[in-house]
Amino acid sequence: MSGNVLIIGAGDAIGSAIARKFSAAGYTVCGARRNVEKLDGLTAEIHSNGGVFHAFQFDARKEDATEELFTRIETDIGPLDVVVFNVGANVPMGILQTDSRKFFKIWEMACFAGFLSGREAARKMLPRNKGTIIFTGATASMRGAAGFAAFASAKHGLRALAQSMARELGPQGIHVGHIVIDAAVDTPWIKDFLPNYEEKKAKDGVVIPDDLASLYLQMHEQPRNAWTFEMDVRPWIEKW
């Protein structure tokens, strides 16, 4: 396969794994994040494996910056076949400790930025009547846990946005999907804070980013007679 992919929120775990997976499948990959220097290692790795990776410094909460990023990629690199919105904003805090500034910032990152990215992706893809837009969800997309009111409200909103977009854009050839990650993902933070981490990982009880990334590629490459809107992902031993 070949084509162009943009990952917004190309972080150190899930975002980087998605980039590597699409690159290995023959796609040109663009990665965008606020701290672009943190993409240096991923850039070098993909290039050393014969892939093509472009890094962009980008604040997904800014409308002008979002419009500029999409136009720049489409003009300088090529038409986007896949856009993945993977910005995280998982900040736990009690409701009494959640002031309006914190709530708004979490909503901006996890929901409003998703709207901006999804809208710009649709603007570029609709004239071609093809393309895939994938949003990364979380446990909070489905249920709000104690101490996560701001994050849950944003993730619920992002899921609703994705549903509306899928119903509007699907008949016009644009595949919109939402991947719910209802589990711990293997990251340095999880390694330090998850009880019995080593035991759970040994039993395949922690989501491995590279395996998770395969689902993003699979969703994009689905035939349009059998599109999936939502994948609900968790290890086999996870309670739900």
Report domain 4-181+210-233's class.
Answer: alpha beta
What is the domain partition of the chain in residue ranges? 4-181+210-233
In angstroms, the CA 57 to CA 1 distance is: 27
In angstroms, the CA 34 to CA 42 distance is: 15
**Average of per-residue pLDDT across 135-142:** 95
DSSP 223: -
Q: Is 31 helix (H, G, I), strand (E, B) or coil?
A: strand
**Average of per-residue pLDDT across 76-96:** 94
Residue labelled with tokens 């604040």: 59
Burial (Cβ within 10 Å: 0-12, 13-18, ≥19) of residue 148: buried
pLDDT tens, 164-200? 999 999 999 999 999 999 988 988 778 777 888 888 8
pLDDT tens, 10-35? 988 999 999 999 999 999 999 999 99
Count of CB atoms within 10 A of residue 146's CB?
9
Q: Which pLDDT does position 177 carry in this prediction?
A: 98
Of 47-51, 110-114, 191-195, 198-202, the one with minimum mean pLDDT is 191-195
**Under 8 Å between Cβ of 162 and 178:** yes
The model carries a pTM of 0.95
Give the residue, 239 or 233, on which the prediction is more confident: 233
Count of CB atoms within 10 A of residue 158's CB?
28
Bridge-based pairing of strands 174-181 and 131-138 is parallel
Q: Which pLDDT does position 194 carry in this prediction?
A: 81
